[in-house]
Structure 1
Amino acid sequence: MKPIRNSAKAIIVQDGRLLLIRLQDQYGDAYVFPGGGQEKGEELKDAVARECLEEIGQAVQVGELLHIREYIGANHEFAEWDADIHQVEFYFECSLVDPKALVFEGSNPDDHQVAVEWITLEELRNIRLYPKTIGELLLKKGEQRIYLGDLN
């Protein structure tokens, strides 16, 4: 089994829209939050800032920690190829340093990444978002749970 991996993710909401990365896989379009793996010696807030530059091509101001989510691959729909993955994800409230940015081209996009898109909060119900629970919490607006456990 692989070691547990930390990942830092950005929740960027602006004008009622959420900035997400669109991926394509064998099932079609899926959306994920910008961010990725923490490197040795790197603080989580620095990891999310670096990952945003790599994936969306924009600098972010990192704010407060909103959620912690675990992903234990063997317990989810992709267990066939993710069974040995255990990742702890830290979701930070972030804002774009340049809120008027129109171009989102990262220097090192993820595999299967095809676009960076603004999605209205209302549209979150109609897209394949991972993890969907964080999208649901954004829609509820008042509910604040930090530790979410192993969910999708």
Structure 2
Amino acid sequence: MKPIRNSAKAVIIENNRLLLTKNKDDQGFYYLFPGGGQEKWEVLSEAAARECLEEIGCVVEVGDLISVREYIGKNHEFAKWDYAAHQVEFYFECRILSRSDEFQGSNPDPDQIGVEWIQIDRLHEKRIYPRKLAEMIQRGQSKPFYIGDAN
């Protein structure tokens, strides 16, 4: 049995746009919030900052926790290959402190092909995970919320 994994993610909004990693699989393009697994003895906010540097090449200031999501692989569309996964994701409001023009991370995820700003009012046009968080951002929900087991 695999252990439950913690993950720290960044929600970066500037000029009514959301910054996401752009990824590609056999179904086409999809988008994720920058972030990833918490390492042993690492504070969640430190994990979010490290992951932003690795995936989007930006130094960020990590702010308030705005959402928590669980992902239980066996319950979702990727169950065929992700059945045993159980991840708890913590989404933090983040602000970019310094960046390069290319948004080149030092250690992007294997499926990551880039970084893209997406207009908030167009989030519904993209395949974004978790969908529920993208929908809530698009609706302008601002108070912290628990998404639950969602994809």
Q: TM range, normalised to the smaller chain?
A: over 0.9
Mapped partners of 2:75, 2:143: distance in 1: 24
Q: Which residue of 1 aligns with 2:58?
A: 58
Give the TM-score normalised by the residue count of structure 1: 0.96
Q: Work out whether 1:113 is the aligned partner of 2:117.
A: no
What's the CA shift string for 1:56-91, capped at 9, x where partnerless?
Answer: 011000000000000000000000011100000000
Q: Which residue of 2 aligns with 1:79?
A: 79
Q: Which residue of 1 aligns with 2:47?
A: 47
Q: Which residue of 1 aligns with 2:13?
A: 13
Matched AA of 1:115: G
Which stretch shows the higher mean deviation, 90-99 or 71-80? Answer: 90-99
Matched AA of 1:86: H
Q: Work out whether 1:139 is the aligned partner of 2:142.
A: no
Deviation at 1:139, TM superposition (A): 1.1
Mapped partners of 2:138, 2:113: distance in 1: 25
Mapped partners of 2:66, 2:107: distance in 1: 25
Deviation at 1:148, TM superposition (A): 1.3
For the 8 Å contact 1:23–1:114, the answer to whether it is kept is yes
For the 8 Å contact 2:65–2:144, the answer to whether it is kept is no
Deviation at 1:146, TM superposition (A): 1.9
Mapped partners of 1:143, 1:17: distance in 2: 15
For the 8 Å contact 1:137–1:144, the answer to whether it is kept is no
Mapped partners of 2:61, 2:12: distance in 1: 10
In structure 1, the residue corresponding to 2:49 is in which secondary structure?
helix
Q: How many percent identity over aligned positions?
A: 55
Name structure 2 gaps, 5 residues minimum.
none
What's the CA shift string for 1:7-64, capped at 9, x where partnerless?
Answer: 0000000000000000000100000000000000000000000000000011000000
Number of residue pairs matched by the alignment: 151
Matched AA of 1:112: D
Matched AA of 1:137: M
Matched AA of 2:67: H
Q: Work out whether 1:37 is the aligned partner of 2:37.
A: yes
Output the aligned Cα RMSD: 1.1
Mapped partners of 1:47, 1:40: distance in 2: 10
Deviation at 1:145, TM superposition (A): 4.4
Matched AA of 2:123: L
Matched AA of 1:97: L
